[in-house]
């Protein structure tokens, strides 16, 4: 299971669903720095960057409107921290190091516990696609195929 599309022609790739990305900050950070009103403000604020995230420190957003999603735009953000794990991004963000884009399923429990607060709710970050990947020369067992089907159904219902 991968959150990036492999570029290996020897693999079978099945897209299972999407992982929405949300902007979050800690309550302490928001008390010190205030709540951002627009993603463009992030260019001058400390951010926690996931180096695995497509675009790295160039975060893409679209405004949510009653008529649908607006045109995409990009904001170039700065550190102070870059890591290569969404779980680590969540933990460092909860410690007040800055604003971060985090997969919703990674941030969910920290938001429920009050360790993170969702910000910029009127905007949507570009999410990750989730893929199942296996060698093309190998046939999947019935159990593995059933697992992939259940996982795809669960991601669709999220």
**Domains in the chain: ranges and CATH:** 18-128 (3.40.190.290)
pLDDT number for residue 59: 92
pLDDT number for residue 102: 93
Residue-wise pLDDT tens digits, 2-35: 877 777 778 888 888 888 889 999 999 999 999 9
Between 128 and 142, residue with greater pLDDT: 142
pLDDT number for residue 65: 81
- In whole numbers, what is the pLDDT of the chain averaged over residues? 88
Question: Over 90: is that where the pLDDT of 115 sits?
Answer: yes
Averaged pLDDT, 75-94:
93
Confidence band (pLDDT; 50, 70, 90) for 158?
Answer: low
Say how far apart CA 21 and CA 36 lie, in whole Å: 17
Interstrand relation of 46-50 and 99-103 (parallel, antiparallel or unpaired): parallel
The enclosing H or E element of 149 equals: helix 142-157
Q: What is the CA radius of gyration of the chain?
A: 17
Question: Over 70: is that where the pLDDT of 147 sits?
Answer: yes
């Amino acid at each position: 299971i991968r959150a990036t599309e492999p570029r290996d022609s020897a693999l079978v790739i099945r897209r299972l669903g999407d992982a929405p990305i949300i902007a979050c900050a800690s309550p302490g950070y928001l008390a010190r720095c205030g709540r951002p009103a627009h993603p463009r403000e992030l260019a001058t604020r400390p951010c926690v960057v996931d180096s695995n995230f497509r675009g790295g420190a160039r975060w893409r957003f679209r405004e949510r409107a009653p008529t649908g999603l607006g045109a995409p735009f990009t904001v170039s953000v700065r550190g102070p921290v870059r890591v290569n794990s969404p779980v680590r991004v969540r933990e460092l963000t909860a410690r007040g190091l800055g604003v971060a884009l985090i997969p919703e399923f990674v941030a969910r429990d920290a938001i429920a516990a009050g360790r993170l607060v969702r910000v910029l709710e009127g905007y949507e970050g570009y999410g990750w696609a989730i893929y199942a990947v296996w060698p093309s020369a190998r046939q999947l067992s019935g159990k593995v195929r059933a697992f992939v089907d259940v996982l795809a159904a669960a991601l669709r219902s999220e």
